[in-house]
Copies of this chain bind each other. A is one copy, B any other.
Amino acid sequence: MKKIVILGAGVMGSAFSIPLSDRGYDVRLVGTHLDVDIIEEIHQNRVHPKLHSRIPDNVTPYTVSGLEEALMGVDLLVLGVNSLGVNWAAEILSPILPLNVPVLMLTKGLMGDRKKISILPDVLRNGLPADYRDQVQISAVGGPCIAGELASRRHTCVVFTGQDQTLLDQLCDLMRNPYYHVWTSTDLVGVETCVALKNVYALAVGLVHGWLEKEGTADNGAVMHNLAAAIFAQGLWETAYLVDYMGGQLQSVYTLPSSGDLYVTSQGGRNSKMGRFLGMGMNYQEAKTRYMPDETIEGAELVLDIGPTMEVLFERGELDWARLPLLRAMASIVSGQEPAELPWDDFFKGNFQN
């Protein structure tokens, strides 16, 4: 029987235990220091307090102090921490991760160091000891997957991405079931760029909810879907530019990793919720503190993290800021420098004529 550790007992990490459990594996769900209450609740009544789903009996909950024990004899480590936890994960795993255990990352994001933008599998790799860096096999999951739906065994279509096709095929065989449909892609950098950026563009689409609340429904019942759709399209257009810059493939943009994932993220969730607050005119830090103190707003974290690096890349002429007006606007809005307004006339530069 396969033994699988999931590190991170947030909604996505925990939801991922369901398809693994359904395949009959020995699943070990290890909470981080942020997940202590969650692990306690699963121990007590087997219901995840945020996911509101029952965690099956073949999923054993652990606190982080049990990570080393949980890792013994495992076939796969699934990393389900949020984007802020990748460096922490590298640190805690460094002394105890068995060299031959492949890693599958659920975490989505990009990081900047004021020199370059990196995908998270590279951040994790670079955080591991030197002798691990060349050997550890890191793959990742991309595509539209709301955790609560996966946990309820609703049809979900995703892409496993990595550099080793044989490993990807093995991971697929491990995971697939009648509701979890998996494709593979060796465009690791493209998929990772897409799935990270979708969070900030979903935040942008979410602004519309706030604007609608301010302006109200029109006399004829009209809302603001046209506007949301235009922001959605500009998001994909900018994603295509950045995927190309990062060395990825355009196909990832108009399939599951970008268009599918941005679609699902725009239908609701934390980024969309924060977008609404920003659209209503609230300051990001204020809205975060007041309404979403315990939630990670991945789209906001992303622009705050890579924003300074992008400015360096603009200055160096490596990135063309005229191609990324929405991303720049979101960075200004989230950092509180600009009100929540978008530069329409700068959209779609380099594509359509304006």
Contact = CB atoms under 8 A, between A and B. Distances in A.
Given A221-B52, A226-B149, A157 B344 contact: yes
Interface string A110-149: 0000000000000000000000000000000001111011
Interface stretch (A57-65, A89-97, A263-271, A323-331): A263-271
Interface string A303-345: 0000000000000000000000000000000000000000011
B254 A237 contact: yes
B227 A255 contact: no
Interface of A: 51-53, 143-146, 148-152, 154-157, 159, 165, 168-169, 181, 183-185, 218-230, 232-234, 236-237, 239-240, 250-251, 253-256, 258-261, 263-264, 266-268, 344-345, 347-348, 351-354
Contact of A154 (B157, B165, B222): B222
A344 B177 CA distance: 12
A14 B315 CA distance: 48
Given A220-B148, A253-B254, A256-B233, A264 B225 contact: yes
A8 to B, nearest CB: 19
B219 A263 contact: no
Contacts of A150: 226
Contacts of A144: 225-226, 229-230, 233
B226 A264 contact: yes
Contacts of A253: 254
A220 B145 contact: no
A182 B266 CA distance: 24
Contacts of A258: 254
Given A184-B352, A184-B353, A219-B53, A260 B148 contact: no
A52, A169, A220, A344 — most chain B CB neighbours (10 Å): A220
Contact of A183 (B51, B224, B232, B352): B352
